[in-house]
């Protein structure tokens, strides 16, 4: 083939390709509704997604705090409210643990944090006080937000406690005990070498002693002012320290006068006695271990649900999405196809009513969609080991409800669509919206704004939650979801019946 | 009794009038043909009669009731064959018909019998197991006809039944229609094949949404040409036949004189328009006594020509009126 011939062929090819491209272009331009759907549909979904999804909110569980009013725990909560609420979305306080549990089970809150009534009791006995946290999540992805947030909460709380002094008070007591012991040793040393006490070195030792007592006095003053004072002998110890400092001041004055004055001074032995009393006074102050001093609180987190693995968690969602998508696609195409091929005119002339037509189609597609998805569910169970906690019958009932609602929606799409392409496009948009808004990827309860409104109209929103309840939690079908699915089915089927039966004018 | 009665029917889509003030009566047991060019409103008219569309104005009664008030029992008395194939290609011929029989409420035993009878009537019984997508276009049309007949309707609406069919198949369809008429059924048939009007008992000519002519085929033909034609072949040139032509004038109007030549020499072909050809023929022969009449013929102009003339006349009247 020479170049000229090749060139001729190429030109012809271009003409043909151009003809096909132009035909397709004008074909699309002639369908403004389809173009609107193609453009506006995805844009609206993305806008709704952007406005509705707040990942921070998903990762910040709603926490209800259980605390006994008037207790030390209540005081602790009020004083450290920021630490308790910073890592969670604070949902309030209650003094009724059972009511809190019920709220948790109903999904009104994500976590219940119980503050012990008397945390000091545990701490003073050398044990960490325990924050009991319960949550109820089957989600292996976002469900970990509660334990992670609680871990952070306890860290914050411990850090603040240490900084604010309550825990360090315990540390101060410990430090004070060490200083007193040191002081005792110093005094014994000073007493044994009275001559040396008047020397330069002796003056240095008593100066150190004075510093130690001064520090101990400050420590005990803090202990005395602390809200949860750790021992009744703090006041006694403080008095002893002050007394000791006065006596030490006399010793230091005598030191300035030389060895004779030191020997005549009864202050050293008095000071020694005072320190002994101080040691006795501080002996009642507990000696908490370092890990308790550094982290006076710890958490015990309990999940009321048993989360499955990733596959087990997503399986009910996939099943619900499959049911919705297959049902919507089949139902929408079945009606539109007949309308476009002219069968509707034939039906209109026959005795067949719009309701009978819809009922006949509904029966077939209901059996087909439900049967196919029951087979899928059987595969999930048998081959992937996905459990059906609530039993096969309840699951089949749940799937039947999702199928009914989805078929209703599909028939409505079909009654409104002008072409098969439009129907397919709407079915795809519904699928995308369901993946984003119906609780498949992100928890339904955390959806906000437009996505929440959209989710109410999607059978998958109710279906995903229902199948998760039945399959994973082993519960029955939530009444709210039954009502939602039946409402979608009823409204869409009645509307479809009206649209199909409407006389042409 | 009238199967269809229409008075001053007007149908508008938006502001556009598609049917303008139609009056029509179709008697029971006749084949009524509605002819007209594409876009003349035939299908709209039929859809209004079947109840698929509602009239904008006027009165329509089919089988004694307005279509808008049809109960399922009334619809069982009607059959409808739409213009295209609207059944299901993925179903077999028999399954399709079984489905339609079910729509009309035929119970199992009767349904089975009627499906067989109807498929035999349209000669599709042997093809009953084939899927509808895999039979020819002609067979699909016959299956569609079977679907209109399976429940034994009294009144059959047939929309363009022979569109895109070959002449042999078209003839067969009309034979079947006549058989149905013989069985006492009323048929309302639309067609754009003007020639098929000849096969109807009565014909309505629809043009621009108006019934421009209504009557039997012969009546329409007479109306189109102002009478019937008698065609004569006389020996000799027209100049030698002056007496003969003058003799014909009282009997009708000489519309054409054409000189021709054949093996026997010069021949003049004369077309005489008379009111009634059969009645006029003996008088013509008498008037031509003495002339060498080689042949006499009573030609029937094609309905295409009838249609053309009627439409032209209507348009001419409209222009004159305008």
Confidence of residue B226 (pLDDT cuts 50, 70, 90): confident
Q: Which residue of A has its CA nearest to B156?
A: A349
Question: Do residues A493 and A357 make contact, with C-beta atoms less than 8 angstroms apart?
Answer: no
> What tens digit of pLDDT does each residue of B8-20 get?
999 999 888 999 8
Whether chain B has a CB inside 8 Å of the CB on A350: the answer is yes
Confidence band, pLDDT 50/70/90 cuts, at residue A265: low
Q: How far is B82 from chain A (nearest CA, A)?
A: 7
Q: Which comes out higher in pLDDT, residue A151 or A52?
A: A151
A343 CB near a chain B CB, below 8 Å? yes
Residue B97 pLDDT more than 90?
A: yes
Report the pLDDT averaged over residues A174-187. Answer: 63
Give the pLDDT score at B170.
84
Percent of chain A with pLDDT over 70: 80
State chain B's mean pLDDT as an integer. Answer: 87
d(CA B155, CA B4): 9
Contacts of B133 in chain A (CB under 8 A): none
- pLDDT reported for residue A459: 96
Q: What is the pLDDT of residue A170?
A: 53
pLDDT at A445: 76
Cβ–Cβ contact B82 with A under 8 A: yes
Q: Quick one: pLDDT band at residue B268, thresholds 50, 70, 90?
A: confident
As given in the structure block, the two tokens for residue A3 are 């170049």
- pLDDT tier for residue A246 given thresholds of 50, 70 and 90: confident
DSSP B125: G
Q: Are A73 and A115 in contact (CB under 8 A)?
A: yes
- Does A348 contact chain B (CB < 8 Å)? yes
Chain B contact for A239, CB < 8 A?
no
Contact B104 A350 (CB under 8 A): yes
Query: Which residues in chain B are contacts of A348 at CB distance < 8 A?
Result: 50-52
Decide if A32 touches B, using CB distance below 8 A. Answer: no
Query: Chain B contacts of A333, Cβ < 8 Å?
Result: none
The pLDDT of A57-63, averaged and rounded, is 83
Please check whether the domain covering B227-297 is classified as CATH 3.30.360.10.
no
pLDDT digits (tens, 9 = 90+) for B44-86: 999 999 998 999 999 999 999 999 889 999 999 999 999 889 9
Q: Supply the Cα-derived Rg of chain A in whole angstroms.
A: 39
Query: In whole numbers, what is the pLDDT of chain A averaged over residues?
Result: 81
Range ranked top by mean pLDDT from A20-24, A190-194, B100-104: B100-104
Strand A62-66 with A111-114, pairing: parallel
**Residues A48-75, mean pLDDT to the nearest whole number:** 84
Chain B residues with CB inside 8 Å of A350's CB?
A: 75, 80, 100, 103-104
What are the boundaries of each domain within chain A? 1-30, 59-165+292-303, 167-286, 311-501
Task: Give residue A112's pLDDT.
Answer: 94
Residue B260 vs residue B117, higher pLDDT? B117
As a whole number, mean pLDDT of residues A422-436 equals: 91
Q: pLDDT confidence of B282, banded at 50, 70, 90?
A: confident
Nearest CA distance, B36 vs chain A (angstrom): 22
- Tell whether B47 lies on the interface with A, counting CB pairs under 8 A: yes
CA distance A350 to chain B (A): 6
Domain ranges of chain B: 2-223, 227-297
CB within 8 Å: A345 and B76: no
Q: Which CATH architecture has domain B2-223?
A: 3-Layer(aba) Sandwich (3.40)
pLDDT band at A394 (very low <50, low <70, confident <90, very high): very high
Return the pLDDT at A412: 95
pLDDT tens-digit series, residues A318-335: 999 999 999 999 999 888
Pick the residue of A341, A351, A352, A504 with the most B CBs within 10 A to test the interface with B by mutation.
Answer: A351
A34 has a pLDDT exceeding 80: no
Tell me how far apart the alpha carbons of residues B289 and B272 are, in angstroms, rounded to a whole number.
Answer: 16
In chain A, residues with a C-beta closer than 8 Å to the C-beta of B76 are 351
Percentage of chain B lying above the pLDDT 70 cut: 96
pLDDT at residue B199 tops 80: yes
Q: What is the mean pLDDT of residues A375-404?
A: 91
**Per-residue pLDDT averaged across B292-299, rounded?**
83
Name which residue leads in pLDDT, A408 or A286: A408
- Alpha-carbon distance of B134 to B273, in angstroms, equals 52
What are the residues facing A130 on neighbouring strands?
A298
Nearest to B22 by CA among B52, B54, B60, B53: B60
Most confident of A77-86, A90-99, B193-202, B230-239: A90-99
How large is the average pLDDT for residues A296-306? 88
CB nearest B82 (choices: A345, A353, A503): A345
- pLDDT given for residue B280 in this prediction: 83
Domain topology for A59-165+292-303: abc type-2 transporter like fold (3.40.1710)
CA distance A58 to B185: 73
Burial B144-169 (b: 16+ CB within 10 A, else e): bbbbbbbbbbebbbbbbbbeebeeeb
Distance CA A488, CA A398 (A): 14
Which of A221-225, A262-266, B102-106, B272-276 is predicted most confidently?
B102-106
**Which band of pLDDT confidence, cut at 50, 70 and 90, is reported for residue A294?**
confident
Determine the pLDDT at residue A270: 65
* Helical (H) or strand (E) element with B155: strand B155-159
pLDDT of residue A169: 54
Residue A263 has pLDDT above 70, yes or no: no
CATH architecture of A167-286: Up-down Bundle (1.20)
Q: Do A345 and B72 touch (CB under 8 A)?
A: no
Report, as an integer, the average pLDDT of A17-35.
78
- A230 pLDDT band, cuts 50/70/90, is very low
pLDDT (0 to 100) of residue A229:
45
Task: Sort out which chain A residues have CB atoms less than 8 A from B83's CB and list them.
Answer: 342
Cα separations in angstroms, A216 against A219, A281, A294, A476, B190: 5, 13, 21, 65, 116
Percent of chain A with pLDDT over 90: 28
């Amino acid at each position: 083939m020479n170049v000229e011939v090749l060139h001729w062929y190429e030109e012809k090819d271009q003409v043909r390709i151009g003809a096909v491209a132009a035909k397709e272009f004008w074909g699309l331009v002639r369908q403004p509704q389809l173009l609107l759907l193609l453009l506006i549909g995805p844009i609206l979904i993305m806008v709704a997604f952007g406005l509705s999804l707040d990942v921070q909110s998903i990762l910040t569980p709603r926490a209800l705090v259980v605390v006994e009013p008037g207790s030390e725990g209540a005081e602790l909560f009020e004083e450290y409210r920021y630490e308790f609420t910073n890592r969670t979305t604070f949902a309030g306080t209650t003094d009724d643990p059972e009511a809190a549990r019920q709220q948790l089970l109903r999904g009104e809150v994500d976590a219940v944090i119980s503050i012990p009534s008397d945390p000091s009791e545990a701490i003073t006995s050398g044990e960490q006080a325990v924050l009991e946290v319960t949550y109820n999540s089957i989600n292996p992805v976002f469900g970990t937000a509660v334990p992670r947030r609680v871990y952070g909460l306890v860290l914050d709380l411990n850090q603040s406690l240490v900084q604010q002094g309550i825990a360090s008070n315990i540390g101060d007591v410990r430090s004070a005990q060490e200083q007193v012991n040191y002081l005792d040793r110093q005094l014994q040393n000073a007493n044994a070498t009275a001559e040396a006490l008047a020397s330069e070195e002796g003056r240095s030792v008593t100066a150190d002693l004075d510093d130690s007592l001064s520090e101990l006095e400050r420590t005990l003053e803090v202990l005395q002012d602390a809200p949860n004072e750790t021992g009744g002998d703090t006041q006694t110890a403080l008095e002893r320290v002050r007394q000791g400092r006065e006596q030490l001041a006399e010793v230091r004055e005598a030191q300035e006068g030389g060895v004779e004055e030191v020997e005549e001074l009864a202050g050293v032995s008095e000071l020694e006695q005072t320190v002994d009393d101080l040691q006795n006074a501080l002996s009642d102050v507990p000696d908490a271990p370092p890990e308790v001093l550094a982290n006076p609180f710890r958490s015990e987190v309990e999940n009321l649900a048993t989360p499955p693995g990733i596959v087990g968690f997503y399986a009910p969602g996939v099943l619900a999405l499959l049911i919705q998508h297959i049902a919507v696609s089949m139902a929408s195409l079945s009606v539109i196809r007949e309308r476009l091929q002219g069968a509707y005119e034939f039906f209109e002339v026959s005795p067949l009513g719009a309701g009978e037509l819809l009922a006949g189609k509904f029966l077939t597609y209901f059996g087909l969609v439900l049967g196919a998805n029951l087979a899928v569910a059987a595969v999930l169970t048998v081959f992937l080991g996905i459990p059906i906690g609530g039993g096969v019958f309840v699951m089949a009932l749940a799937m039947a409800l999702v199928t009914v609602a989805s078929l209703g929606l599909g028939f409505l799409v079909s009654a409104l669509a002008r072409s098969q392409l439009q129907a397919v496009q709407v079915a795809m948009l519904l699928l995308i919206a369901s993946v984003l808004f119906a609780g498949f990827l992100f928890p339904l309860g955390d959806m906000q704004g437009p996505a929440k409104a959209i989710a109410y109209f999607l059978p998958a929103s109710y279906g995903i939650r229902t199948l998760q309840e039945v399959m994973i939690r082993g519960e029955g079908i939530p009444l709210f979801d039954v009502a939602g699915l039946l409402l979608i089915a009823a409204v869409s089927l009645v509307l479809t019946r009206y649209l199909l039966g409407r006389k042409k004018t | 009794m009238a199967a269809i009665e229409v008075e001053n029917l007007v149908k508008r889509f938006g502001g556009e009038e598609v049917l303008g003030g139609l009056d029509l009566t179709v008697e029971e047991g006749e084949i009524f043909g509605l002819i007209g060019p594409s876009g003349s409103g035939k299908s709209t008219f039929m859809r209004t009669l079947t109840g698929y569309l509602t009239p904008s104005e006027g009165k329509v009664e089919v089988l004694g009731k307005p279509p808008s008030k049809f109960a399922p029992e009334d619809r069982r008395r009607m059959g409808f064959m739409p213009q295209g194939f609207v059944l299901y290609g993925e179903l077999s011929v028999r399954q399709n018909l079984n489905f339609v029989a079910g729509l009309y409420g035929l119970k199992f035993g009767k349904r089975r019998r009627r499906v067989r009878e109807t498929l035999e009537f349209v000669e599709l019984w042997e093809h009953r197991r084939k899927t509808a997508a895999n039979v020819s276009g002609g067979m699909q049309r016959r299956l569609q006809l079977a679907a209109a007949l399976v429940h034994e309707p009294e009144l059959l609406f047939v929309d363009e039944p022979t569109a895109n069919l070959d002449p042999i198949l078209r003839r067969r369809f009309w034979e079947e229609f006549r058989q149905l008429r013989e069985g006492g059924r009323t048929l309302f048939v639309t067609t754009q094949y003007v020639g098929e009007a000849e096969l109807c008992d009565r014909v309505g000519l629809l043009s621009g949404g108006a019934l421009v002519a209504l009557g039997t085929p012969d009546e329409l033909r007479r109306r189109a040409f102002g009478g019937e034609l008698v065609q004569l072949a006389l020996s000799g040139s027209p100049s030698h036949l002056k007496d003969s032509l003058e003799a014909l004038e009282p009997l009708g109007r000489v519309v054409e004189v054409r000189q021709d030549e054949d093996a026997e020499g010069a021949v003049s072909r004369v077309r005489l328009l008379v009111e009634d050809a059969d009645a006029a023929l003996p008088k013509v022969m008498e008037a031509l006594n003495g002339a060498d009449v080689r042949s006499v013929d009573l030609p029937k102009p094609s309905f295409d020509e009838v249609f053309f003339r009627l439409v032209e006349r209507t348009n001419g009247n409209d222009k004159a009126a305008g």
